[in-house]
Amino acid sequence: MKCQRCGKCCEDTRMELSAKDIRRLEKAGYRKDEFAQHDSEGIWRLRNSEGICSFLNPSSRECNVYELRPVGCYLYPVNLSPEGGVVIDDACPAAGTVDGGEKKKKGVLLRHQLRMIDANRQR
Ligand code: SF4
């Protein structure tokens, strides 16, 4: 895909984090309670600060941890529909640049990521 780095997907983010995502960011020196919070279902998600992901630079609209970003951010705009099918979120202006091969590959990774997140849920 050809991300336009518009930062739209970083607004009011609810991006789910795996334990691996959290460990990678902690290892780089970030504090979990500053970049993440868990929801009522025990799922860790990126934390917003003033309506945007706490890692997004508000002036440049660039991600401060792009190379270390959560797997879900890498996979976006590939997503799962409520019925469980692999879909592309057309809210992303670059949605049309995701080809069939990428959609399929990212769909497999996304299902794996969500299984891991579910297994690590704080119950
Ligand atoms: S993934 Fe899409 S919404 Fe997010 S920054 Fe890139 S172009 Fe914008």
Ordered per-residue pLDDT tens for the chain, 123 residues: 999 989 999 999 999 999 999 999 999 999 999 999 999 999 999 999 999 999 999 999 999 999 999 999 999 999 999 999 999 999 999 999 999 999 999 999 999 999 999 988 866
- Which atom belonging to ligand 1 lies closest to the Cα atom of 73? 1
Half-sphere exposure of 119 (CA within 13 A, CB side): 9
Q: Is the CB of 6 under 6 A from ligand 1?
A: yes
98: which DSSP letter?
A: -
Number of residues that this document lists for the chain: 123
Asked whether residue 3 is assigned to any structural domain, the reply reads: no
- Candidate of 2, 5, 14, 79 to mutate for ligand 1, largest count of ligand atoms within 8 Å of Cβ: 5
Asked whether residue 29 is assigned to any structural domain, the reply reads: yes
Interatomic CA distance for residues 7 and 61, integer angstroms: 6
Domain count, the chain: 1
Question: What is the extent of the structural domain holding 22?
Answer: 8-119
- Which atom belonging to ligand 1 lies closest to the Cα atom of 8? 3
Note if the pTM is more than 0.75.
yes
Asked whether residue 69 is assigned to any structural domain, the reply reads: yes
Closest residue by CA, ligand 1 atom 6: 3
